């Protein structure tokens, strides 16, 4: 059993918070009411009828209907319809027979709002701390600094597993004072490696730590079906699961993130948020993306991404200067070492290739060599077939330029021989 107690873990001022309420919380609009409660502009948005109709037509031809002439009204502050669709998506019963409901959900402006809201809910500035496991997503640390919250770092175990160092994390939770939150990333960023469910369970069962385990599942839709632990919040009051519409659903531009948690935690977070933080266009587009038609598109696009991911895994090792794949493959990116002239992973080489790819060939990847356990690594997002083709051509040519050799593409047999004789530390 966990030692978690929400009443003593959350900040007292948040527990006592009275959330903002509007008249429409008490009197729902059925379409016939005269709405004179929220100081809106009764004449509508600053759009011509033709412009609004044109925008609506462009949208409805491919999916959701957005009433641009209704933009003068504040959006739904509770988003229960959207939350129901998210619950339908994640109630897979792979992890529990219980069901999550809209009461288990907070939706925000990207996952970053959820990251920040959790800290403001649980961490007293200047006193409390969070635990992170590098290499990991950088916004946990940024948000901690903004909120004057301390950091405890327990690195992941070495590549290629990038697993949780459960023993050292448990020791830190036992002995380090004032750790309120543990931010974990699964699949990891930049590692692409999933965390073991049983490792997470051990942290949830910590017998003395009064805090919340947060699992960031931004890339979960590239993992095998049923991998998400979102429904597990029905079993664990000290678990929160963050997700996003930006990755698997390809909706980065609408900035929609979600957080699944016990109903009491979700209630606190919803009490804190700005009352209309999800716009009407965002909500309409998201509801389409999570509908059966939207899910069919997502699954079709996912298949294309997986095919190109497998292509990169096949083709990259054949290029001279490409080292080992680090981490996992349950994401829409891959983490690869780049090797110097003597066959060792090297940040100078990786950084030079990163810069030349962008500046000379218009191919932008991400240099991750300064992250813990990622020496000489580039993080490569899986693109379209055309984009992957251009990347493969460009990276081979660029490596040849940086390392001063002819462009070399090995056959499978030649690559095995090179790997057997390589000097890789």
Answer yes or no: are the C-beta atoms of 272 and 112 closer than 8 Å.
no
Q: What are phi and psi of 12, to 5 degrees?
A: -65, -35
Distance, in Å, from the CA atom of 244 to the CA atom of 187, rounded to the nearest integer, reads: 13
Q: What is the pLDDT of residue 424?
A: 42
Which pTM was predicted? 0.91
Low-confidence ranges of the chain (pLDDT < 70): 28-30, 52-66, 69, 410, 414-425
What confidence score (pLDDT) does residue 25 get?
A: 74
Distance between CA atoms of 230 and 234, rounded to whole angstroms?
8
Q: Which domains does the chain have, with CATH numbers?
A: 6-22+74-290 (3.40.640.10), 37-73 (no CATH), 300-421 (3.90.1150.10)
- Per DSSP, the residues of 247-312 read STT--GGG--EEEEE-HHHHHHHHHHS-TT-S-HHHHHHHHHHTSHHHHHHHHHHHHHHHHHHHHH
pLDDT attached to residue 423: 43
Which residues lie below 8 Å from residue 393, measured CB to CB, with a gap of 6+? none
Please report the pLDDT score of residue 112 as a whole number. 95
- pLDDT for 18 equals 86
pLDDT computed for residue 425 by the predictor: 35
3-state secondary structure of 222: helix
The confidence score (pLDDT) of residue 29 equals 66
Please answer whether residues 189 and 218 qualify as being in contact, where contact means their C-beta atoms are separated by less than 8 angstroms. Answer: yes
Instruction: Quote the distance between the C-alpha of residue 326 and its chain's center.
Output: 19
């Amino acid at each position: 059993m966990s030692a978690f107690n929400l009443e003593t873990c959350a900040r007292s001022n948040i527990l006592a918070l009275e959330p903002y309420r509007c008249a429409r919380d008490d009197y729902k609009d059925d379409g016939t009411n005269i709405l004179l409660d929220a100081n809106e502009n009764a004449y509508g948005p600053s759009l011509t009828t033709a412009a609004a109709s044109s925008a609506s037509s462009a949208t409805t031809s491919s999916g959701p209907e957005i009433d641009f002439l209704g933009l003068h009204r504040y959006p739904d502050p509770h988003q229960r319809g959207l939350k129901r669709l998210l619950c339908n998506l994640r109630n897979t019963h792979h992890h529990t027979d219980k069901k999550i409901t809209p009461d288990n959900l907070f939706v925000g402006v990207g996952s970053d709002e959820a990251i920040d809201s959790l800290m403001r809910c649980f961490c007293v500035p200047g006193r409390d701390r969070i635990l992170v496991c590098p290499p990991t997503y950088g916004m946990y640390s940024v948000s901690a600094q903004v909120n004057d919250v301390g950091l405890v770092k327990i690195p992941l175990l070495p590549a290629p597993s990038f697993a949780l160092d459960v023993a050292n994390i448990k020791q830190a939770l036992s002995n380090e004072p004032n750790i309120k939150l543990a931010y974990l990333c699964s699949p990891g960023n930049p590692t692409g490696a999933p965390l073991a469910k049983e490792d997470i369970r051990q942290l949830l069962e910590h017998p003395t730590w009064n805090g919340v385990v947060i699992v960031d599942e931004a890339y979960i839709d590239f993992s095998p079906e049923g991998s998400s632990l979102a429904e597990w919040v029905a079993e664990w009051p000290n678990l929160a699961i963050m997700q996003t519409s930006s990755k698997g659903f390809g909706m980065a531009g609408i900035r929609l993130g979600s957080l699944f948690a016990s109903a009491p935690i979700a209630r606190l977070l919803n009490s804190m948020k700005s009352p209309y933080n999800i716009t009407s266009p965002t909500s309409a587009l998201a509801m389409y993306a999570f509908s059966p038609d939207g899910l069919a598109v997502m699954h079709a696009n996912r298949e294309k991404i997986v095919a190109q991911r497998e292509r990169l895994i096949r083709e990259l090792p054949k290029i001279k200067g490409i080292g080992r794949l680090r981490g996992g493959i349950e994401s829409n990116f891959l983490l690869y070492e780049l090797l110097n002239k003597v066959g060792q992973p090297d940040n100078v080489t990786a950084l030079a290739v990163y810069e030349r790819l962008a500046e000379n060939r218009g191919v932008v990847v991400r240099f991750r060599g300064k992250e813990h356990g990622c020496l000489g690594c580039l993080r490569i997002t899986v693109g379209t077939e055309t984009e992957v083709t251009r990347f493969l051509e460009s990276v081979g040519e660029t490596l040849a330029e940086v390392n001063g050799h002819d462009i070399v593409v090995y056959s499978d047999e030649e690559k095995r021989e090179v790997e057997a004789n390589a000097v890789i530390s």
